[in-house]
Amino acid sequence: MSIENVIDGSDAGFMKDVVEPSKEVPVLVDFWAPWCGPCKTLKPMLERIVESQGGKVKLVKVNTDEHQGIAQQLRVRGIPAVFAFKDGKPVDAFTGALPESKVTEFIEAQKLRFEASS
């Protein structure tokens, strides 16, 4: 797995891992927990789709059991929750394990949003 495109995130590293890179490419933040069944379905799918993008999208995975600060700030109510960041701000999100086609549509929409403003 490419270290640049899919990483494990933390509250402490949020600026470096999410906010700063989101000025260059869309950054998806996947809030998950080890006990969450739907998270186990979504996570490998997200990783695979992001890896297939060749660096045009970045994924940061945040374990909400270990890092609750950012999830609380974003008012995450259920997991899995995926937020898309652009220019340091959340611009879109979805909750739950979506079918792969919907996840791909979500990612493509974030790339289009990014390209439209650059």
Cα-based torsion angle of the residue sequence 24, 39, 15, 47 in order, rounded to the nearest 10 degrees: -30
Domain that holds residue 34: 6-112
Q: Is residue 37 part of a domain?
A: yes
Spatial separation of the C-alpha atoms in residues 10 and 70, rounded to whole Å:
8
Give yes or no: 39 in active site: yes
Q: Is residue 30 part of a domain?
A: yes
Q: Is residue 117 part of a domain?
A: no
Instruction: Please list the ranges in the chain whose pLDDT falls under 50.
Output: 1-2
Give the CATH number of the domain where residue 79 resides: 3.40.30.10
- Choosing from 27, 28, 39, 50, the catalytic residue is 39
CB 39 within 8 A of CB 33: yes
- The reported pLDDT for the residue numbered 114 is 86
Q: Which residues contact 95 (CB under 8 A, 6 or more apart)?
A: 77, 78, 79, 80, 81, 82
Query: Residue 25: what residue type?
Result: V
- Choosing from 36, 42, 79, 107, the catalytic residue is 36
- The reported pLDDT for the residue numbered 118 is 60
> How many folded domains does the chain comprise?
1
Q: Is residue 118 part of a domain?
A: no
- The reported pLDDT for the residue numbered 84 is 97
Specify the 3-state DSSP secondary structure of 57.
coil
